[in-house]
Chain A
Amino acid sequence: MNHNQPVYIDNDPQNELVTLNLGPTHPATHGVFQNVLQLDGERIVSGVSTIGYIHRAFEKIAEHRPFYQITPLTDRLNYCSSPINNMGWHMTVEKLLNIKMPKRVDYLRVIIMELARISDHIICNTIIAQDTGATTTFLYLFQFREHIYEIYEEICGARLTTNIGRIGGFERDFNDIAFAKINKFLKEFPIALREFESLLDRNRIFIDRTAKVAEVSAEQALDYGWTGPLLRSAGVDYDVRVSDPYSSYEDFDFEVPVGTSGDIYDRYLVRNEEMWQSLRLIDQALEKIKLEPAGIFHADVPEFYLPAKEEVYNNMEALIYHFKIVMGEIDAPKAEVYHSVEGGNGELGFYLINDGGRTPYRLHFRRPSFINYQMFAPMSKGMLLSDAIINMSSMNVIAGELDA
Chain B
Amino acid sequence: MSESINHELIQSLTERFGEKIFGVNEPYGLLTFETNKDIIVSVLEFLKTNTVADFNFLTDITAVHYPEKKHGIAVVYHLHSMVKKVRIRVKVFIDEHNPTIPTLTGLWNAANWMERETYDLFGVKFEGHPDLRRILNMDELGVHPMLKQYPLEDPNRVDKKDEYFGR
Contact = CB atoms under 8 A, between A and B. Distances in A.
B139 interface: yes
A363 to B, nearest CB: 10
B133 interface: yes
Chain B binding surface SS class? mixed
A60 interface: yes
Nearest to A54: B136
A225 B58 contact: yes
A26 interface: no
Interface string A321-339: 0000001100000011110
Contact of A374 (B59, B62, B64, B110): B110
B43 interface: no
A374 B140 CA distance: 23
Given A64-B152, A371-B110, A349 B78 contact: yes
B137 A55 contact: yes
A4 B110 contact: no
B44 interface: no
A223 B104 CA distance: 12
A361 B167 CA distance: 10
A61 B85 contact: no
Nearest to A238: B82
B135 A52 contact: yes
A66 interface: yes
Contacts of B125: none
Contacts of B112: 374
Contacts of A403: 136
Contacts of A63: 152
Range for the number of chain B residues in contact with chain A: 35 or more
Interface in B128-167: 133-140, 145-146, 152, 165-167
B57 interface: yes
Contact of A351 (B57, B76, B113): B76
Contacts of A335: 27-28
Contact of B136 (A52, A223, A358, A359): A52
Given A64-B167, A223-B109, A328-B166, A4 B146 contact: no
B64 A362 contact: yes
B85 A366 contact: no
Contacts of A95: 28
A364 B60 contact: yes
Interface string A351-378: 1010001110110101000110011001
A344 to B, nearest CB: 18
Nearest to A353: B64
Nearest to B148: A63
Contacts of B165: 64
B110 A223 contact: yes
B56 interface: yes
Contacts of B146: 59-60
B71 interface: no
Interface string B59-95: 1101011000000000010100010010101000000
A225 B79 CA distance: 11
Nearest to B57: A222
B114 interface: yes
Nearest to B150: A60
A238 B82 CA distance: 7
Contacts of B139: 2-4
5 contacts: A52-B137, A224-B108, A225-B58, A225-B109, A351-B76
List of 9 A-B pairs having minimum Cβ-Cβ separation, nearest first: A225-B110, A358-B166, A52-B136, A374-B113, A55-B136, A364-B62, A366-B60, A3-B139, A362-B64
Interface of B: 27-28, 30, 32, 56-60, 62, 64-65, 76, 78, 82, 85, 87, 89, 108-110, 112-114, 117, 121, 133-140, 145-146, 152, 165-167
Interface of A: 2-4, 51-52, 55, 57, 59-61, 63-64, 66, 95, 222-225, 236, 238, 243-244, 327-328, 335-338, 340, 347, 349, 351, 353, 357-359, 361-362, 364, 366, 370-371, 374-375, 378, 403-404
Given A238-B82, A337-B27, A374-B109, 16 more contacts: A2-B139, A52-B134, A52-B136, A52-B137, A60-B152, A95-B28, A223-B110, A225-B57, A243-B82, A328-B166, A338-B87, A340-B59, A349-B78, A351-B76, A353-B64, A362-B64
